[in-house]
């Protein structure tokens, strides 16, 4: 089940003692992962660069739908921007819940897919009522006409403090940030209008309130202040890491 919506990767509930797996680490694996799995070694179709590993990380070539590990072999599994590519998403998430006690799943959100559409993405995904809801792009006849990924994925995160605050105060606006324990609740191409309407109709105020976390003025101010402190901490941490790399 879903337990949290982490604001950033630094917000994950990973203890130092945890044995950590990353599925689909690609060209940017998480440093906390001890073992990194990827299906493709020489094919960069589904990633933006060649495979990379940090020191002491072990790489295993394997299909995420059939992981070569024992049940609950890992304390935590990280999976970022892979689910939207896979052939069988139900089997894919079942495998992660089988091999790990808890984990983190990140994908483009519905808004994120419209802003930065990728041909390699088969599925459009949204977190609805703590469930990962997926629709095949062909089912939705998904036809975005412009890719603004350079603006929202690269330029603003590097240049705008205001955008960094937005990312933290509305975690999940461009991505689905799904931290789970025991199992991952998932629905694929549900025909229920309740879910389908999130994907095919304009969002009204009620959906915006639910998906974008409407808060009282006091809580909004608190979230903004917390986001500013988190940005300062993150910048300081990254600067220190570069100086000691």
pLDDT on residue 188: 98
pLDDT on residue 26: 81
pLDDT on residue 41: 79
Cα–Cα distance, 3 to 182 (Å, whole number): 10
Please state which of the ranges 37-51, 52-66, 83-97, 161-175 shows the lowest mean pLDDT: 37-51
Residue 93 pLDDT more than 90? yes
Domain 2-214 fold is Rossmann fold (3.40.50)
200 vs 27, residue with greater confidence: 200
Domain ranges of the chain: 2-214
Q: What is the pLDDT of residues 126-137, one digit of tens each?
A: 999 999 999 999
15, 64, 189 from 96: Cα distances, Å: 18, 8, 21
Q: Phi-psi region for residue 24, left (φ > 0), alpha (ψ -120 to 50) or beta? A: left
CB 202: neighbour CB atoms within 10 A? Answer: 6
């Amino acid at each position: 089940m879903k337990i949290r919506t982490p604001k950033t990767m630094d917000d994950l509930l990973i203890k130092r003692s945890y044995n950590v797996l990353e599925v689909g680490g690609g060209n940017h694996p998480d440093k906390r992962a001890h073992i990194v799995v990827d299906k493709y070694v020489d094919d960069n179709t589904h990633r933006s660069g060649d495979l990379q590993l940090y020191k002491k990380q072990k790489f295993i070539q394997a299909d995420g739908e059939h992981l070569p590990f024992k049940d609950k072999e890992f304390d935590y599994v990280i999976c970022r921007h892979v689910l939207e590519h896979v052939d069988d998403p139900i089997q894919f998430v079942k495998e992660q819940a089988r091999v790990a006690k808890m984990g983190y799943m990140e994908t483009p959100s519905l808004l994120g897919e419209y802003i930065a559409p990728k041909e390699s993405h088969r599925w459009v995904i949204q977190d609805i009522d703590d469930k990962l809801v997926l629709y095949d792009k062909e089912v939705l006849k998904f036809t975005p006409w412009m890719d603004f990924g350079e603006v929202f994925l690269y330029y603003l995160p590097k240049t705008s403090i205001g955008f960094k605050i937005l990312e933290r105060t509305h975690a999940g606006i461009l991505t689905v940030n799904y931290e789970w324990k025991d199992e991952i609740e998932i629905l694929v191409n549900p025909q229920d209008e309740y879910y389908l309407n999130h994907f095919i109709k304009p969002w009204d105020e009620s959906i915006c309130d639910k998906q974008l976390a409407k808060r009282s003025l006091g809580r909004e101010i608190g979230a903004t202040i917390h986001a500013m402190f988190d940005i300062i901490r993150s910048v300081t941490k990254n600067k220190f890491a570069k100086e000691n790399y």
